[in-house]
Chains A and B, each alone.
Chain A
Amino acid sequence: MERSDQTPIITVESLTARFGSNTIFQNVSFEVYKGEIFVILGGSGCGKSTLMKHMIGLYETESGKVVINGIDVTKADEKELKKVRLDIGVAFQSGGLFGSMTLAENVALPLQEYTDLSPEEIDLIVKMKLGMVQLAGYENHLPAELSGGMKKRAGLARAMAMDPTVLFFDEPSAGLDPITSAELDSLIKSINAGMGTTMVIVTHELQSILNIADRIIMLDKTAKGIIAEGNPKWLKDQATDPRVRNFFNRRVPEQEEKGT
């Protein structure tokens, strides 16, 4: 419940990722502070989602380390990884909901697995979580019966089931209309404000970034690493790096070169 302070909850040090001989990024280092909304930003194909998947231990790391709540996930054994995973929640791009289960069953799954709450209590928590993401009443719906925005919110409800200290969110705005996207942004902000949950969000939606981010890092495909770090408003107005300026001003690099 602690609000944002300067205590790092995630530390990434000299992380390098490769797919075969293709280097996605190298020597990436940054810290995520407790209680902040941290955005990993960058153009398509720069490795944002790959970085997130490394952070949650889904991919094996080439070199470097990722420390979450004091545990290095790149070297952690299964037991430690499980501990870390119980403390984090991940909302996938498409919701990642199990198609054969209702929303209630999807959200209840971690609670059934990791707590000894009674079915009635779990039912109540599920209703509460679905209510938090404005999906009250949808518990018996199957994911296939929901719209894209609803799937994302349901994915968020499942990610929040165990009240994690860190929530990872992959492309919350992707494929959503501006209003649904803005609703999701305000939901993320209210959860962060209400619960003090640290949010790590992977996105390239400019409006979203300016609305919600406390701090951002920007990855670049050609640099294969971080090219900017800081407050989004400051970066938008003050950044000197042309790649960052282009991104925030939605400019195609060639156009600028031609103009100058």
Chain B
Amino acid sequence: MNSQKTYTINSQGEKGGEVSLSLSGRIETENLNTFLSETEVLLMEKAPKKLMVNLSKIEYLDSAGALGLLQLEDRAKAKSIPFQFVNVTDEAKRVMGLINRGALTIKPLVSDKRADNIMEQVGESSLRIFNDFVSIITFLGDLITALIYSLIHPRSIRWEDLLFYMKRAGVEGLPIIGLINFLLGLIIAFMSSLQLKQFGANIYVAQLVGVAMVTELGPIMTAIIVAGRSGSAFAAEIGTMKVNEEVDALVSMGFDPTRFLAIPKVLAAMLVVPVLTLYADFFGVAGGLVVGVLGLDLTVYTYVQETMKVISIMDIVKSLIKSVVFAVLIAGIGCQRGFQVRGGAEAVGASTTSAVVAAIFLIIVMDSAFAILFTYI
């Protein structure tokens, strides 16, 4: 909106003497800036001994307009110029009366300045990370306690919710997990075959794909997809419940929110992620098989035989152990981030993002730990 001048200022009186400003027209939000700058210039030019402002001809004055008049008075007074409003209409008086002048100068109760010193910023960030760590550990403690309680008292588990989340996280994730792992197997087989072809070692493509998929990529890719699909959904669901004071209501009714909300999700993830991992392994190998049969002139039988040669039962067990741990991480972090929500819609969004990022980070960290652990055990 462009400011249009809808008022006039008629100035009478000599420079340095008594000056009278007669205002007419509309002084409102849209022309506040022109009004303020024009009156400022007048104050500078006239440098009056006394300033009187006649408001009798003002047609309309909104609160911003009234603020402009009061600003003019303040500026005059700051220059030690005696100031007076004359012929103030009832309307103008009422609008000006609404303005609490003390509020204009009161200091904010909370400073909007963030620490600008780099050391303070580092300190603040470190504190935040430490508090986050403490909150994760605390939640982990709650979760383990609740899990043990649920295993001892299976009737306390909300079975309907558990099945619902198994369907959500598991069954509904089958198509995307199958597709991604199939393509992944296909890519690995294709890229490795380009190199292995040069040495006539096509046959090893099957072993390479099998080992890569079962020991590393199957569990990791499945965990990452579940983190994106379900970890974020858990965080958003619990976060929204926090915002709507539903979690507070649960607590006030004597429920343990971790047992009530987190346990079904964590248990569901622990049950479906290993199954999804096996399924992902199968599709990964199938992807490699397609390249082997169509591109490398291997038979299906040979390809399967070569794959079976390198994969032991222990590899599959290890892969399943990993996937159970990943499942606890994904669901646990999702729920913890949800419970952390304070505020509104924006906080729910932040918790969702944070749930996915933290889960993926922890998956990779745990996978590194498993790599070392399994090598030496």
A interface residue numbers (CB < 8 A to B): 1, 98-100, 102, 104, 111, 114-118, 121, 124-125, 127-132, 136-144, 160, 162-163, 190-191, 193-196
Contact = CB atoms under 8 A, between A and B. Distances in A.
B98 to A, nearest CB: 4
A114 B107 CA distance: 27
19 contacts: A1-B61, A1-B94, A116-B2, A117-B33, A121-B36, A124-B67, A125-B64, A130-B103, A131-B100, A131-B104, A131-B106, A132-B63, A132-B100, A136-B103, A138-B108, A163-B28, A194-B97, A194-B98, A195-B63
Contact of B63 (A121, A139, A143, A163): A163
B64 A140 contact: no
Nearest to A113: B1
Interface in B51-69: 60-64, 67
Contacts of A132: 63, 98-100, 103
B95 A1 contact: yes
Contacts of B64: 125, 128, 163
B60 A1 contact: yes
A124 B74 CA distance: 13
B255 to A, nearest CB: 24
Nearest to A101: B346
Contacts of A118: 33
B112 A116 contact: no
Given A114-B1, A124-B67, A125-B64, A140 B102 contact: no
B30 interface: yes
B353 interface: no
A146 to B, nearest CB: 11
A248 to B, nearest CB: 32
Contacts of A194: 94-95, 97-98
A67 to B, nearest CB: 23
B110 interface: yes
Which 8 A-B residue pairings sit nearest by Cβ, starting from the closest?
A131-B103, A99-B344, A136-B103, A144-B343, A100-B346, A131-B100, A163-B62, A194-B98
A3 to B, nearest CB: 9
B344 A144 contact: yes
A127 B98 contact: no
B3 A125 contact: no
B36 A190 contact: no
Contacts, number: 113
Interface in B78-114: 91, 94-95, 97-100, 102-104, 106-112
Interface string B1-40: 1110000000000000000000000001110110010000
A49 to B, nearest CB: 18
A6 to B, nearest CB: 19
A127 B101 CA distance: 9
A114 B2 CA distance: 9
B342 interface: yes
Contacts of B109: 137-138, 140-141
Nearest to B66: A128
A117 B60 CA distance: 19
B134 interface: no
Nearest to B93: A194
A116 B1 contact: yes
A127 B107 CA distance: 10
A102 B100 CA distance: 21
B205 to A, nearest CB: 51
A129 B346 CA distance: 25
A140 B111 contact: yes
A160 B95 CA distance: 13
A116 B102 contact: no
B32 A117 contact: yes
A138 B29 CA distance: 22
Given A99-B345, A114-B1, A163-B29, A136 B106 contact: yes
A111 B64 CA distance: 11
Contact of A137 (B29, B33, B95, B108): B108
A141 B109 CA distance: 8
B71 interface: yes
A1 B91 contact: yes
Contact of A128 (B30, B63, B343): B63
B32 A191 contact: no
B362 interface: no
A141 B102 CA distance: 19
B347 interface: yes
Contacts of B67: 124-125, 128
Nearest to A194: B98
B103 A195 contact: no
A99 B348 CA distance: 11
A179 to B, nearest CB: 20
Given A124-B67, A162-B29, A195-B63, A137 B107 contact: yes
Nearest to B63: A163
Nearest to B70: A128
Nearest to B94: A194
Contacts of A162: 29
Contacts of A142: 343
Nearest to B103: A131
Given A99-B343, A118-B33, A121-B36, 9 more contacts: A1-B61, A98-B346, A99-B344, A99-B345, A115-B3, A121-B33, A142-B343, A144-B343, A195-B62
A140 B108 contact: yes
